[in-house]
């Protein structure tokens, strides 16, 4: 939208009011903070660990001390390595949670925000569709449950 705004402003040879520029800047900064809440800064090492815990490129010293032993145990377990080859990344980490919960939690911090954000957006869109002017009931819990379920009635 800013490209179109700039194009219109250039064509009409107008300048934006400084207060409008300040409002736009403030709004964009608040959006940036909001996105940072959903997607906190993750180190490259954490992202690499979530993608492939068996890579030889991992620097063990960059992993927190309380997790290093568990990480090394998992890395040296051949059955975990075989499981990693057979399953998807998310399925692998869900399976590993029972045995290696601390290392799995690091991977979950990388993997979960995308899924949870998607679910929130899906729920919000569903609520907007249910809460129309014609269907303005106070209790939408049952309608939401039915709309968001994976089961077919």
**Per-residue confidence of the chain (153 residues) as pLDDT tens digits?**
667 777 777 778 777 778 887 888 898 898 888 877 766 676 777 788 888 888 877 777 777 788 888 888 888 888 998 999 999 888 999 999 998 988 888 888 888 766 656 677 777 787 777 776 556 666 777 777 777 777 776
| Token pair for 89 | 């990344």
CB contact set of 51 (below 8 Å; sequence gap of 6+): 89
Q: Which residue is it, tokens 């997790």?
A: 67
Sign for the pseudo-dihedral over CA of 63, 67, 72, 77: negative
CA end-to-end span of the chain: 42
Please state whether the predicted TM-score (pTM) of the whole model is above 0.75. no
């Amino acid at each position: 939208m800013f490209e179109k705004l700039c194009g219109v402003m250039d064509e009409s040879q107008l300048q934006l009011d400084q207060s409008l520029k300040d409002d736009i800047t403030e709004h964009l900064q608040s959006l940036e903070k909001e996105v940072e809440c959903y997607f906190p800064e993750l180190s490259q090492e954490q992202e690499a660990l979530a993608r492939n815990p068996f890579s030889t490129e991992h620097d063990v010293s960059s992993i927190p001390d309380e997790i290093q032993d568990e990480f090394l145990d998992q890395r040296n377990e051949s059955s975990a390595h075989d499981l990693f080859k057979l399953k998807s990344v998310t399925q692998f980490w869900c399976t590993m949670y029972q045995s290696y919960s601390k290392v799995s939690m690091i991977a979950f911090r990388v993997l979960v925000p995308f899924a949870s954000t998607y679910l929130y957006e899906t729920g919000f869109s569903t609520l907007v569709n249910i809460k129309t002017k014609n269907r303005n009931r106070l209790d939408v819990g049952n309608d939401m449950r039915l709309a968001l379920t994976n089961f077919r009635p």
